[in-house]
Amino acid sequence: MSGLSREEVERRGHGVWAEVDLGAIRHNIAELRAVAPRSELMGVVKGYAYGHGNPAVAWAMLQAGATRLGVARVAEALHLREAGVTAPIHVFTEPPPRSAATMLTYDLTPAVYSEAFARSLSEAASAGGRRIGVHVKVDTGMHRVGIMASDLPDAMRALKALDGIAIEGAWSHFAVADVPGHSFTRRQFELFNELVMEIEKTIGPLRYKHMANSAATLSLPESHLDIVRPGVAAYGLWPGPHLTNSADLRPAMSLRARINASKVLPAGERLSYGLRYELERDGRIVTVPVGYADGYDRGLSGRAEVLIEGKRHRVSGTVCMDQFLVDVGEDPVEIGAVATLIGSDGDAHITAEELAGVIGTINYEITTRIASRVPRVYLNEIPPATRDVAAESTQTSTR
């Protein structure tokens, strides 16, 4: 359940580790709750908590006031249940029909948008003499999954007729809430409200309606409804450039490695695969034991910078599977020095946003891709006794 300590990481031979500040996670959840004070907060912890690690992150969110959690897959939910998390866990995507009984066994909240999966849930619930609460996913224009507006009346009549199914909520997802003033965001929200009215005509009032992701939580207060679902913002990452510093959020992750080789090479020598980097003068070259197998993208080759002893240095040559090189010039950097790939060193900072800009992606792809072989070192972790109290109080407040 817990991450390794920094000392244990090194004893086990790891030269790279990700530090995750659970105090920052708790702070961010508290800030986001203050932004949407009348809504419940669902902490989104899919994708191994956006690379930050579960269940430690889930516990931190619950301690800070999240009342429920969101994941993409049943396996992610089971990982949390097996760690003792008792708060409601929403599964955003329908799994294979054979998973229906598992969802009942582990008291998970399914998203429903197909008749086939709904029937599987109904059969499993009826066989056990139970009812399962579901949240209907409606498609408001993103077109990944969800019931289309034209299909909704028939779909709701079919769902209402199924035994063992209790429709407790409806939800959708914004496509461009991170783009300020985009007309499509308004169109989606208006359509969602229309579809909710259609649902309630068939089954009566819904307990939960939710649509707000991180961007909408921060910038579209009318979309907060009954639940907000911040993902990226909970980790101190910004959902869009225009939202930077729109709240007091703190990045939770740092990625560090201990240099494992240091040598002086003469001018004219070339480095790494492809020999694309040539020394223009004599210089010290250090090896950082991180590569694309750790999630440090090959596209960062020769473009990204790292912090070593508080100074920026460019990645020199091609990033390899397990390591890359850095030309530190005349700086006397020795084996054992710490390189910071994401995070702070003294007054200098490298953010996930910076690395994302280098390779043309988004900040949380940078964190989510940090591989499982990179150990997570948790800072300010919740003591086990406090965890139990947090989980129990959350359970009591939401059931």
Active site amino acids: 46, 273
Q: Give the three-class secondary structure for 216.
A: helix
Q: Give the three-class secondary structure for 234.
A: helix
Structure tokens at 88: 């409601």
**192: CB partners within 8 A, 6+ apart:** 138, 140, 172, 209, 211
Picking from 112, 110, 53, the residue whose alpha carbon sits closest to that of residue 80 is 53
Neighbours of 379 (CB within 10 A): 14
Indicate the residue type of 292.
Y
Give the whole-angstrom CA distance, residue 297 versus residue 299.
Answer: 5
Give the whole-angstrom CA distance, residue 162 versus residue 110.
Answer: 15
Structure tokens at 360: 């043309």
Q: For 74, how many CA atoms within 13 A lie in the half-sphere containing its CB?
A: 17
Picking from 105, 168, 87, the residue whose alpha carbon sits closest to that of residue 135 is 168
Q: Give the three-class secondary structure for 128.
A: coil
Helix (H) or strand (E) holding 194: helix 183-203
How does DSSP assign 15-74, residue by residue? SEEEEEEHHHHHHHHHHHHHHSTTSEEEEE-HHHHHTT-TTHHHHHHHHTT--EEEESSH
Q: Give the three-class secondary structure for 341.
A: strand
**Antiparallel, parallel or unpaired: β 253-258 and 338-345:** antiparallel
Q: For 237, how many CA atoms within 13 A lie in the half-sphere containing its CB?
A: 28
Distances 37 to 23, 62, 224, 229 between C-alpha atoms, Å:
20, 16, 9, 13
Give the whole-angstrom CA distance, residue 328 versus residue 282.
Answer: 11
